[in-house]
């Protein structure tokens, strides 16, 4: 009945089943003696992360607040069997991080352009848009002029990374962490990208109006 009203949720249910297959070899619990399956917990953590939760305590609160909906999506018990943040932490430790990475890379590493009128170049490449990632990192070898302590860093390295070819396309340095946006706009401008050719992503620190406006004016997703 739930899927009749929310057919788009079938993809989340399928995701839960894929999780189950991925976690099967790592889950040492007896399935007849557990309250929370590993795949259900991981799916809830995944959705909670998309909604802004960042630690096990917030994941547990998300579990309780969204329990009726989550029961329709995944095999989780009623609210009277409230999960603890320690139980979530235990299950997260159960599955190796490289298994998580491989799972998500196989499903979310490529963006397919939804517009049916694909450009000729994009269509010939199979309908996938080019993906460019941007990130900044403190340079360990840099230091502030006039400071005797090497722990007082002076520069941030900012890089554009082509995720399809796995190569660095451009890089620069800025004085402070909050100046990454200016570096991104400068480097993206140098690349000469056109409408509908690329998906750009960066971490939440860079979700600022100036960068969003820059991307929108150039048709960069």
Give pLDDT, residue 150: 59
Q: Indicate the pTM of the whole model.
A: 0.53
Give pLDDT, residue 119: 46
Q: Within the chain, which residues score under 50 in pLDDT? A: 113-116, 118-120, 122-124
The C-alpha angle 98, 105, 29, rounded to 5 degrees, equals 45
Phi and psi torsions of 33, nearest 5°: -130, 20
Give pLDDT, residue 86: 92
User: Which tokens is 171 given?
Assistant: 């890089």
Give pLDDT, residue 193: 73
């Amino acid at each position: 009945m739930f899927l009749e009203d929310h057919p788009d949720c079938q993809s989340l249910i399928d995701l839960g089943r894929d999780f189950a297959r991925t976690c099967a070899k790592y889950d040492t619990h007896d399935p007849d003696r557990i309250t929370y399956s590993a795949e259900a917990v991981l799916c809830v953590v995944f959705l909670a992360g998309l909604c802004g939760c960042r630690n096990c305590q917030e994941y547990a609160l998300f579990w309780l607040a969204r329990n009726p909906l989550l029961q329709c999506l995944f095999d989780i018990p009623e609210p009277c069997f409230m999960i603890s943040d320690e139980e979530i932490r235990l299950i997260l430790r159960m599955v190796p991080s490289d298994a998580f990475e491989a799972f998500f890379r196989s499903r979310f590493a490529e963006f397919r352009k939804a517009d049916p009128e694909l450009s000729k170049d994009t269509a010939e490449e199979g309908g996938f848009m080019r993906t460019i990632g941007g990130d900044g990192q403190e340079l360990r070898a840099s230091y502030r002029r006039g400071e005797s302590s090497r722990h007082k860093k002076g520069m941030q390295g900012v890089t554009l990374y082509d995720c399809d070819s796995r190569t660095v396309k451009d890089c620069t340095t800025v004085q402070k962490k909050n100046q990454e946006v200016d570096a991104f706009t400068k480097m993206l401008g140098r690349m000469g990208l056109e409408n509908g050719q690329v998906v750009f992503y960066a971490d939440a620190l860079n979700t600022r109006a100036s960068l969003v406006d820059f991307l929108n004016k150039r048709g960069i997703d």
